[in-house]
Structures are given as C-alpha cells and as structure tokens.
Amino acid sequence: MRPVPSWPPMPGGAPIAQPPRRRASQVAIWWLMGVIGVLFGLMLVAYVMRMSLGDWRPLPSLPMLWLNTGVLAAACIVMQSSVWQAKRGELRRSRRDWTVAGVLALMFVIGQLWVWRDLVARHYGVAGNPANSFFFLLTGLHALHLVGGLVAWALLMPRAMSHGTRARRLSLTAQYWHFLLLLWLVLFAAMVNLTPEIAQRLCGVSQ
C-alpha cells in the first residue's frame, strides 16, 4: 500500500495527512495560470503588431518601474520563505514572512498607481497614443490580477485555520504570485526593450 503523503508535523504532533482535494486545487491553479498566460500572450502579440505601425510614439523612460520590479520580486521571495516556514511547522515565522510579503505586494500596486499618475501629469494619458493605451492596459490588467493575489493572501488571515490547510493554501498562493512575477518580467522586458524598428522586423513591415 502506498503511504499517504503528508505535510510536515506540527511541533510535538503527528503528521497531517495531505487532503485529496489538494490535487484538484493544484490543477485548478495550473488552469488559471494557463488561461491568464494565454490572455497576456495574445495581448503581447497585439502589442508588437500595433507597435509596427507608423503612429507609435514610445513612452519616456520610467525608472520607477525598475523599483517596482524589485519590490515585486522581494514579495515573492518572502512569500516563498513563508511557505517553507509553514511546512517546517514554524508558524510564527511563517506568519511574519506572510505579513511582509503582503505589504511588499501592496507597495508594488501603489508604485504602479504612482507611475500612472505621473504619466497623466506629464500628458501621457490613456488616449494620447497607442503606446500609452497599451501601457495602461497591460500594466493595469497585471495589477488587477495581483490584487486578486492579495485577496488570496488575505484569506490566509484567520488564525483558527488548521496547520495543514494553511500550508496548502499558502503554497498555492505563492505559486500564483511567482507566476505573476514571471508574467511581469516578460511584460517589463517587452516594454523596455521592444522598439518600433524591432516590431517592424518581427511583423515583416517595411517603412
């Protein structure tokens, strides 16, 4: 008979059996990430195709995006630390790291709001140019999905939650956050490195 997988035991206690529904919840999070990934992939294709046209006016340099990227990466690192602490039964340390991760993720969202406000103040509003519109669309949708990740983070708040349930949900939430970090890195790299000339070569457009 195959042994029942379990989470590491709580200090002084017996191992907690891994509930069967974890497999279903894991598949669900994979499906969710797959759907979101396809959505953003299609939007990036549209971004490149639209950039290849002659009326594209790139946005100015936005150094704040680099800081926001570092904050989001730190949030994911601390969130993963919270997962490891929970699986070792270090609940106090896990909750501390969980709190710090949430604060950092919220700082990322606030940082994005600051970038949008700064662009509008500099007359780079949503309707000013196709480049502006795509920037607000891509970063806004990403921030919206991250807010969803913060909702999942907040649902881990109740202290009455069992150790096994908390560790399981924490692990799934961390996976979603890591996916959003990877997605943001792809978006950020596209916004920083792609130029109309590169887009025209990719699309086979000659000017």
Over residues 97-137, the pLDDT tens digits come to 999 999 999 999 999 999 999 999 999 989 889 999 999 99
- The top-scoring range by mean pLDDT among 60-64, 166-170, 175-179 is 175-179
The whole-number average pLDDT for the span 46-66 is 92
The whole-number average pLDDT for the span 15-23 is 53
pLDDT-based confidence at residue 196 (cuts at 50, 70, 90): confident
Over residues 177-191, the pLDDT tens digits come to 999 999 999 999 999
Min mean pLDDT across 71-80, 92-101, 153-162 is at: 153-162
Torsion sign across C-alpha atoms 163, 165, 166, 167: positive
pLDDT-based confidence at residue 89 (cuts at 50, 70, 90): confident
Say what the pLDDT of residue 21 is.
55
How deeply is 105 buried, as exposed, middle or buried, from its count of CB atoms within 10 A (0-12, 13-18, 19+)? buried
Say what the pLDDT of residue 24 is.
87
- Of the candidates 163, 189, 10, the one whose C-alpha atom is nearest the C-alpha of residue 89 is 10
How deeply is 8 buried, as exposed, middle or buried, from its count of CB atoms within 10 A (0-12, 13-18, 19+)? middle
Q: How far apart are the first and last CA of the chain?
A: 68
Residue predicted with more confidence, 33 or 162: 33
Structure tokens at 136: 């607000």
Q: Is the pLDDT of residue 31 over 50?
A: yes
* Helix intervals (H) in 123-162: 130-154
For residue 180, the one-letter residue type is L
- The top-scoring range by mean pLDDT among 11-20, 53-62, 153-162 is 53-62
3 state DSSP class of 61: coil
188 and 143 in contact (C-beta within 8 Å)?
no
- Buried b vs exposed e over 60-99: b needs ≥16 C-beta within 10 Å? eebeebeebbebbebbbebbbbbbebbbebbbeebbebbe
Say what the pLDDT of residue 2 is.
45
Output the pTM of the full model.
Answer: 0.85
The whole-number average pLDDT for the span 167-186 is 96
15 and 124 in contact (C-beta within 8 Å)?
no
* Distance separating alpha carbons of residues 46 and 126, to the nearest angstrom: 17
